[in-house]
Amino acid sequence: MTLNIETPALLFSATSLILLAYTNRFLTIAQIVRGLKKNYEEHNSKSILLQIKNLNLRIILIRYMQLFGVLSLFLSVFAMLLLFVEQELVGIYLFGLSLLSLLISLGISFWEISISVKALQMHLSDLSES
């Protein structure tokens, strides 16, 4: 199997956009948590506390999504470097690890999104019961 130096470069734009989306999700959730914490301090509602715990799990997942996304980009660049210095076999394996890291990042993203959807469904079910 041969791998051109351009192939790992294909991940750059995709990974950069994914990392930007992850960062935006993190910032949005962090802002919501700050608002809920202030609201919890005023009302001590168990419902708000459960929402904060759910959002805390999502923040942890986003951190791992970012970690594996950055690792994917790092391994891809390192694979390009190895291909540049004609270490093709090691470069191929590192590129494979890069793809695996990106796949893990996307899998965690799917998990985080499913938690978000379940939380929204529970929130909306409260409205339909009223």
Each residue's pLDDT tens digit, 75-99:
999 999 999 998 999 999 999 999 9
Task: Give the global pTM.
Answer: 0.84
Average pLDDT, whole number, for the chain? 89
Q: How far is CA 73 from the centre of its chain?
A: 13
**Maximum separation of any 2 CA atoms in the chain, in Å:** 67
Contact 59, 26 (CB under 8 A): yes
Per-residue confidence band for 43, with pLDDT thresholds at 50, 70 and 90: confident
Is the separation of the CB atoms in 105 and 18 below 8 Å? yes
Contact at 8 Å (CB) between 108 and 65? yes
Q: Is 97 within the bounds of a domain? A: yes
Looking at the domain assignment, is residue 48 inside a domain? yes
Q: How many domains does the structure of the chain reveal?
A: 1
Whether 36 is covered by a domain: the verdict is yes
Element (H, E) at 20: helix 6-43
DSSP 1: -
Return all residues near 78 (Cβ < 8 A) that are at least 6 apart. 94
- 124 domain residue, yes or no: yes
Q: Is residue 85 part of a domain?
A: yes
Q: Is residue 117 domain-resident?
A: yes
32 is a domain residue? yes
Is 1 within the bounds of a domain? Answer: no
Q: Write out the residue range of the structural domain in which residue 44 sits.
A: 6-129
Q: What pLDDT is attached to residue 50?
A: 85
Q: Torsion angle of alpha carbons 115, 62, 58, 99, nearest 10°?
A: 30
pLDDT at 74: 94
Q: φ and ψ at 93, to 5 degrees?
A: -65, -40
What is the model's pLDDT at position 27? Answer: 93
